[in-house]
Amino acid sequence: MPSDSCYGSLKEILGSTIEAVQAKYGVVSLISAQNNRLQSYVSYGSLPSQVAGLPMTHWVANRGEPLVLETPEQALLVPDIVVNHGTALPLICVPIQVNGTTIGALQANFWPVAGHEELLQKQHTLELAASLISYVMEHAILQRQLEEAKELIRQVNNISLEIQEAERGRIILGKL
């Protein structure tokens, strides 16, 4: 999972986005590097009594494409999606991708909206937020890789110093 500073950035992005699109709830779910499973990472807003969460985010994360549902009837047209009675609709779920690889999903559940056009505008805003989240995640990944490379260089340097010291000792013993 990302660092604390990354968590803070994601929380700020999610909070600002959910307020901007006037959603009642939003969640960022990320694929865990430890077990390769999608996990809710940060959420914002009041959780509806029955939120269409993990099945939707799994669907989006597995396919790497957005999902917009205005009505339960629309959900019937989407393969592998089951919307329970009372599920908070409409909802929009968009993928979070880094270098073409889907690493998670951003989902928002809304109060009823004025129409399909308004929902598309909200989807566009969520897609922009997902892009911003992907930059934050890419930065965190690069930062971690940099730290790993620095540690590897330190280890190689220490081994080199040990070899030099051993060689000096061998040369000194050879002169005696």
Q: What is the CATH number of the domain that holds 83?
A: 3.30.450.40
Share of the chain above pLDDT 70, in %: 89
In a domain? residue 165: no
Strands, sheet with 91-98, edge to edge from the N-terminal-most edge strand: 38-45, 23-31, 101-110, 91-98, 67-69
**Residue 136 has what pLDDT?**
94
Into how many domains does the chain fold? 1
In a domain, 170, yes or no: no
Quick one: pLDDT at residue 37? 86
In a domain, 23, yes or no: yes
For position 33, what pLDDT does the model report? 80
Residue 73 located in a structural domain: yes
Over residues 31-54, the mean pLDDT reads: 74
The 10s digit of each residue's pLDDT in 73-114 is 777 777 777 666 666 678 899 999 999 999 999 999 887 777
Average pLDDT over residues 34-47: 83
What's the whole-number average pLDDT of the chain?
Answer: 85
Q: Is residue 153 part of a domain?
A: no
Contacts of residues 7-11 at CB distance under 8 Å and 24 or more positions apart, as own/partner, are 7/41, 7/42, 9/136, 10/41, 10/42, 10/133, 10/136, 11/42, 11/44
Question: Is the pLDDT score of 54 beyond 60?
Answer: no
User: Which amino acid belongs to residue 113?
Assistant: V
Nearest CA among 129, 119, 110 for reference residue 24: 110
Give the separation between CA 148 and CA 154, rounded to whole angstroms.
Answer: 10
Query: Does the pLDDT of residue 48 top 70, yes or no?
Result: no
pLDDT at 62 over 90: no
What's the confidence (pLDDT) of residue 20? 93
> If residue 40 lies in a helix (H) or strand (E), which one and from where to where?
strand 38-45
Is residue 154 assigned to a domain? no
Phi first, then psi, for residue 111 (nearest 5°) are -70, 165
Residue 138 resides in a domain: yes
Residue 68 or residue 76, greater confidence: 68
pLDDT category of residue 130 using cuts at 50, 70 and 90: very high
**Domain range holding 29?**
4-144
What the block records as the tokens of 8 is 């803070």
Report yes or no on 82 lying in a domain.
yes
